[in-house]
Structure 1
Amino acid sequence: MSASIKDVALRAGVSVKTVSNVINDFPFVSEATRAKVRAALDELDYRPNLSARLLRGGRTGVVALAVPEIASPYFAELAAQFVQQAKGHGWTLLIDETQGAKDNERVVLDGIKSHLVDGLIVSPLALTAKEVDQRRDRTPLVLLGERLVHAPVDHVTIDNVAGAQAATDHLVARGRTRIAAIGSQPHVSGGTAALRLRGYRASLRAAKIRYDASLVVPAKSYHRPDGYAAMNVLLDLPHPPDAVFCFNDLLAIGALRALHERGRSVPGDVAVIGFDGIEEGEFHTPTLSTIRPEKGEIARLALAMLERRITEGPATSPQEAYAPFQLVVRQSTGDTLSG
């Protein structure tokens, strides 16, 4: 069993109050006494009870980040930014995975672990704005992504419509006219796929290129095999595309594999661009052009919102912020150098 504060007091030969004063770095404890207590803490490997500390009106110094898929390179890179930047707020970050399942997201929002954390940052895929508003727990919350833009809580996202339009505009500027899209999800209302499809179609309209539904291939999930399968569907068309906008980089990497196996040159026969700016794209052959959201800025904005909410409480009105993105041009759309 772990040592208690009473065990530490007995080992150091002081009162429990004195041990508490040393743990909380209160003044008016002599250096000699402080040294004895610290030695006892080390000898007994004492760990403070965070739940008890919270019950006394303090904070745990711990916040949680819940993402749909930790194995996804985008969310892994985003989580790394949160871990590093949380240190600047004096916080330890816990990371949870929801798999985009409604039951798992509800568990996070309903506060099963709320006694352990001061705040939550969640990237939901399944919950509705109404369900977020009806959550039983009042732990400070910030949402990520576009799934719940109108939920009555603080929210950080990127402009997916503008990002998708920028990607498609880039293909148009390269002289491509049969531009396909991989990643639509027609049975999912709202969310990433719908917004990126909207941006793709807006770019075609602006370029006076006729929208062709046969060039838009859905993807059940956003993994490499989905992009591989979708690219093969496009290559089997009587008139295959000369460019493809993939709704994330993993779809694009899968598409590049299919093009390689079918003997199509990139970008000579087909130009390919992705979305997310994951590191893997920079080291692929050919290197992958992409829309790169500023993941560090997403983390900075969300953590600043969470600190404000923890400090000021629920009385302040919810905030919404958009993090910037960049068009990164590499070999898969015609650049001779990887960027």
Structure 2
Amino acid sequence: MADERAVPSAEPSSALQHEPSAETPSAGSPRPRNVTMREIAARLGVSIKTVSNVVNERPNVGSATRERVQQAIRDLNYRPQVGAQQMRTGTSGLITLAIPSLAGTYFSELAQAFADEAQRRRRSIMLHSTAAGRDEEASVLSGFTRVLGDGVVFNPLLIGEDVIAGLGRTIQPTVFIGEHLAEAALPAGSDYVRTDNERAAHDATAHLLGLGRRRIAYLGMLPTTESRQAHSTSRLRLGGVRRALTEAGAPEPVVPTVPTWSQEGGLSAGRELMDSHPEVDGIVCGNDDLARGVLLGLRMAGIDVPGQVAVIGYDNIREAAFTTPSLTTIDPDKQALAATVLDLLIERIGGYDGPARVIEAPYRLVVRGSAG
């Protein structure tokens, strides 16, 4: 995962205003007005309730009438507006996914996993990037006054645990993801789904030790700034590396900083690492983007992988299987995480108001050529 940093809506309402018809106006012509359920009903000679029942997929409509209504909906390009639905029913079928960025490969794949799982539950995912920083993350906690939605999936990065704990209760049903929240910090109305980063990095390091590697480096620590959390993803993963080395009686890891958790960051940091520490024979990377850069840098330097240096990444992004050599990596099950999160959130949206729940999502080590 990058460090510290849709689909049909459910059950549209029967008294909504709607999107314009599919007819495309010519240049300079006025925009076609919205089609209403009333107009569909009048066109077919049926009641508005009948049209509503078809739109909402209710069973009490004859098959012939249902087919006529569905055809009229297609002909007129009838679409419910989410805003009107939310005003009338209190629900929109929308869930906001607030993540630090879509620039990293992990988060783009995670967003797709959420979209897939939401579609199975007849919900829609609305993406919200908090890349603008701490104030943008605070807007998530203040209730997204400018964004529609029934609940929030939130991966905080810069905002402190004290701020989250100080809420007392979230404005909207919320499920937190990420790896650096303490259970005590969870406010009422929220749940938390996480992957055990420390244990996963421990397992990756133990795999390198099992291959006979003894001089291990960890690439993933960013330069320290006031905005970076003490319990960041990178620190948790470094803790797992250190614990595995201590248990094996191996030397402390080499821990240079990296400029970014990106391929470019891995390329530069990996080459500098081998120039300054040529004895290193195993590298655990904070994510797969870093590891891809490291692999390229080692290949450019004529260093054999895994003969001289074994490399392990984290995230199991799609490209991991297609690097040279293919990348051994930790696979946090993104689909399982998304499914668990949405199940918890939909329960909250539906009225569950019990204590905060904390669930660990599964992960596994995928062994490929870079550390086979």
**Pairwise TM-score range, normalised by the shorter structure:** 0.7 to 0.9
Query: Any idea what the Cα deviations from partners look like across 1:146-182, whole Å, max 9, x if unmatched?
Result: 1324332201111101011111111111111211110
The reply to whether residue 89 of structure 1 matches residue 121 of structure 2 is: yes
The reply to whether residue 144 of structure 1 matches residue 177 of structure 2 is: yes
- The alignment's TM-score, normalised by the length of structure 1, stands at 0.88
Contact 1:160 1:199 in 2 (8 A): yes
For the structure 1 residues 283 and 132, does the alpha-carbon distance in structure 2 shift closer, same or farther, using more than 3 Å as the test? same
Aligned residue type for 1:142 = V
- Give SS of 1:211's match: coil
- Give SS of 1:141's match: strand
1:128 corresponds to: 160
Aligned residue type for 1:268 = G
Deviates more, 1:35-44 or 1:147-156: 35-44
- Give SS of 2:212's match: coil
- Give SS of 1:217's match: coil
Shift of 1:10: 4.1
User: What is the CA–CA distance in structure 2 between the aligned matches of 1:24 and 1:281, rounded to whole Å?
Assistant: 43
Aligned residue type for 1:195 = L
Shift of 1:114: 7.1
For the structure 1 residues 5 and 174, does the alpha-carbon distance in structure 2 shift closer, same or farther, using more than 3 Å as the test? same
RMSD: 2.5
For the structure 1 residues 275 and 307, does the alpha-carbon distance in structure 2 shift closer, same or farther, using more than 3 Å as the test? same
- Give SS of 2:128's match: strand
Superposition map of 1:207-218 within 5 A: 207-211=248-252, 215-218=254-257
1:321 corresponds to: 359
1:173 corresponds to: 210
For the structure 1 residues 325 and 35, does the alpha-carbon distance in structure 2 shift closer, same or farther, using more than 3 Å as the test? closer
1:183 corresponds to: 220
For the structure 1 residues 209 and 223, does the alpha-carbon distance in structure 2 shift closer, same or farther, using more than 3 Å as the test? same
User: What is the CA–CA distance in structure 2 between the aligned matches of 1:196 and 1:27, rounded to whole Å?
Assistant: 52
The reply to whether residue 76 of structure 1 matches residue 108 of structure 2 is: yes
For the structure 1 residues 115 and 183, does the alpha-carbon distance in structure 2 shift closer, same or farther, using more than 3 Å as the test? closer
Unaligned stretches of 5+ in structure 1? none
For the structure 1 residues 232 and 140, does the alpha-carbon distance in structure 2 shift closer, same or farther, using more than 3 Å as the test? same
- Give SS of 2:284's match: strand
For the structure 1 residues 239 and 48, does the alpha-carbon distance in structure 2 shift closer, same or farther, using more than 3 Å as the test? closer
- Give SS of 2:159's match: coil
User: What is the CA–CA distance in structure 1 between the aligned matches of 2:66 and 2:366, rounded to whole Å?
Assistant: 55
Contact 1:224 1:253 in 2 (8 A): yes
Contact 2:223 2:258 in 1 (8 A): no
Contact 2:113 2:335 in 1 (8 A): yes
Deviates more, 1:106-115 or 1:63-72: 106-115
Contact 1:122 1:143 in 2 (8 A): yes
- Give SS of 1:184's match: coil
Contact 2:214 2:251 in 1 (8 A): no
- Give SS of 2:220's match: strand
- Give SS of 1:290's match: strand
Contact 2:195 2:363 in 1 (8 A): yes
- Give SS of 1:138's match: strand
> Could you tell me which of 194, 199, 213 is aligned with 1:157?
194
For the structure 1 residues 32 and 58, does the alpha-carbon distance in structure 2 shift closer, same or farther, using more than 3 Å as the test? farther
Deviates more, 1:85-94 or 1:153-162: 85-94
Aligned residue type for 1:67 = I
User: What is the CA–CA distance in structure 1 between the aligned matches of 2:238 and 2:58, rounded to whole Å?
Assistant: 57
Aligned residue type for 2:300 = E
- Give SS of 2:92's match: coil
User: What is the CA–CA distance in structure 1 between the aligned matches of 2:324 and 2:51, rounded to whole Å?
Assistant: 60
Superposition map of 1:290-329 within 5 A: 290-313=329-352, 315-329=353-367
User: What is the CA–CA distance in structure 2 between the aligned matches of 1:199 and 1:87, rounded to whole Å?
Assistant: 36
Aligned residue type for 2:301 = R
For the structure 1 residues 28 and 299, does the alpha-carbon distance in structure 2 shift closer, same or farther, using more than 3 Å as the test? closer
Q: Tell me the matched-pair count.
A: 331
2:298 corresponds to: 259
Q: How many percent of aligned residue pairs carry the same amino acid? A: 38
For the structure 1 residues 238 and 41, does the alpha-carbon distance in structure 2 shift closer, same or farther, using more than 3 Å as the test? closer
